[in-house]
Amino acid sequence: MAKLSTEELLDAFKEMTLLELSEFVKQFETTFEVTAAAPVAVAAAGPAAAAEEAEEQTDFNVVLESAGEKKIQVIKVVREVVSGLGLKEAKELVESAPKAILEGVAKDVADAAKEKLEAAGAKITVK
């Protein structure tokens, strides 16, 4: 078989459907015992990729770092912020800090909860 140039290979790939190309990749991986995944490329992207991910983030976690000096007020606000939480559960949550209070919430909800909890004396981080 004649050796194909890189351009000829790319032209051949351009003519293939996505399904055909996917099957080709699977067969290529099997034949040469490699994977098409590029974990090194992701790691090499480093801070730029992290910055893009932070900009596109839509779900946030509100983490209680510490209750501070006003533990009772923080427990009250935790019960207010986290729906369906009893006094005992809220107390255990506050005492087990650092602990996630809200997970996967919108930015405005996370900011509102952070504001309320910090006003009560808690130390909060939003991730």
Task: Supply the CATH number for residue 100's domain.
Answer: 3.30.1390.10
Q: Does 92 reside within a domain?
A: yes
Q: Does 87 reside within a domain?
A: yes
Q: Does 103 reside within a domain?
A: yes
Is pTM beyond 0.85? Reply is: no
**Going edge to edge, which strands form the sheet with 123-126?**
99-105, 60-66, 123-126
Count H helices and E strands in the chain, helices first: 7, 3
Q: Does 80 reside within a domain?
A: yes
Domain count along the chain? 1
Predicted pLDDT at 42: 47
Q: Does 8 reside within a domain?
A: no
The pLDDT tens digits of the residues spanning 22-67 come to: 888 888 888 888 776 655 444 555 555 555 555 667 788 888 888 8
* Cα 121 to Cα 71: distance, rounded to the nearest angstrom: 8
Whether the CA torsion 64, 65, 71, 73 is positive or negative: it is: negative
Q: Does 78 reside within a domain?
A: yes
> Is the pLDDT confidence value at 103 over 70?
yes
Average pLDDT over the chain reads 79
Q: Does 119 reside within a domain?
A: yes
Please give the residue range of the domain that contains residue 90. 60-126
Q: Does 85 reside within a domain?
A: yes
